[in-house]
Amino acid sequence: MKLFEYMEKYDYEELLLCQDKASGLKAIICIHDTTLGPALGGCRMWTYDSEEEAIEDALRLARGMTYKAAAAGLNLGGGKSVIIGDPRKDKSEALFRAFGRFVQGLNGRYITAEDVGTTVEDMDLIHEETDYVTGISPAFGSSGNPSPVTAYGVYKGMKATVRQAWGDDSLEGKTIAVQGVGNVAYNLCRYLHEEGARLIVTDINQEAVRRAVEAFGARAVDPNEIYSVECDIFAPCALGGVINDETIPQLKARVIAGAANNVLREERHGDQIHELGFYYAPDYVINAGGLINVADELLGYNRDRAMRKVETIYDNIEKVFEISRRDNIPTYRAADRMAEERIQAMKNARSTFLQNPKSILNMKE
């Protein structure tokens, strides 16, 4: 990848490589865009096959966060970080504290939180070194683990998408294929099960599968079977890039709606599923619940206020489908348009100098 060419093409601000020999930390922090406010985005810990793959992931995820915050109506920019390593073996206090010091060094331009492979306990260690971290323990007045709230938002967004496809938003009797039953999807499955949906689940972690089968009477299938099972809704809740040339021809679902970030391997796959008549809920619109929740910490956390804002994901999904129909474009493009228009409008509005800009968030009691 030609880094500067790529960064220029998608308007990235900053890419930071962080290494600390003593703790073994190798991390990447990427700030995509801070037009709307500080870049808030999670920290992923993953065993990447190469450094290039890790950098690419950080870049793509950071850009997604800019769009996520903009589409959710938050005054936050987009950023993300990745720590290269195995979350089951390579974690230590020293590693997360070293990472925290790099975050502190950015002086608030980047605020971190959980993502795949990191937990509230890890955020608490980062918090030893910096206040620019969210999703820490509730004992600090924080919102804790964002995953259950992300799940609630995905549930609401899935219902809104189902309404587009079938005219009413009930999930009762719908068969839903869930890929990955980790932190978000386990909580999502609970909502789906309570509403009377039939669940098919898969995960590369057998323990996660067993939990979902026992708790929700889900049917388990092998990871490579999940694309082709007979179902109404495909819910990608593991990693990105799963809507691609190989998987699209296998899909039997009518709706694609899940928690995973960067679901489309390439933009052209979003065009393809649109032409084929799938109802796709754009990833960063439907999975914004966790971000909305941790963002509320910056105001002094109020769970009711945060949950009310998470419920607007239903309306945001409806807006995306409206734009898609109005402009005859795929939903992923409609979501981009919605986010880009807001960023541009705020860029223009902020051209006037103000001594004391108002609070960085626009959520009100």
Ligand X SMILES: CC(C)C[C@H](N)C(=O)O
The DSSP secondary-structure symbol of 230 reads: -
Rounded Cα gap, residues 136 and 252, in angstroms: 40
Q: Which is nearer to ligand NAD, 15 or 259 (CB)?
A: 259
Residue 117 is a binding residue for ligand X (CB under 6 A) = no
Count of residues in the chain: 365
Q: Which is nearer to ligand X, 16 or 215 (CB)?
A: 16
Residue 336 is a binding residue for ligand X (CB under 6 A) = no
Q: Which is nearer to ligand X, 144 or 146 (CB)?
A: 146
We find the least distance from the C-beta atom of residue 234 to ligand NAD, in angstroms, to be: 13
Q: Please list every residue from 120 through 149 that binds ligand X, using CB under 6 A.
A: 135, 146
Cα dihedral sign, 193-197-202-203: negative
Q: Catalytic residue, from 80, 159, 174, 309: name it.
A: 80
Residue 261 is a binding residue for ligand X (CB under 6 A) = yes
Q: Which is nearer to ligand X, 158 or 291 (CB)?
A: 291
Indicate if 2 belongs to the active site: no
Phi and psi angles of residue 325, each rounded to the nearest 5 degrees, phi first = -70, -45
Q: Which amino acid is at 165?
A: A
We find the least distance from the C-beta atom of residue 80 to ligand X, in angstroms, to be: 8
Residue 25 is a binding residue for ligand X (CB under 6 A) = no
Strand spans (E) along the chain: 14-20, 25-33, 39-40, 43-46, 77-84, 110-111, 175-179, 198-202, 219-220, 233-236, 255-256, 279-280
Q: How far is CA 193 from the centre of its chain?
A: 22
Q: Please list every residue from 38 through 67 that binds ligand X, using CB under 6 A.
A: 40-42
Q: Which amino acid is at 225?
A: E
Rounded Cα gap, residues 357 and 168, in angstroms: 43
Residue 13 is a binding residue for ligand X (CB under 6 A) = no
Q: Binding string to ligand X for residues 275 to 294, with x set by CB under 6 A, is what?
A: ------------x--xx--x
Q: Which residues bind ligand X (CB under 6 A)?
A: 40-42, 113-115, 135, 146, 261, 287, 290-291, 294
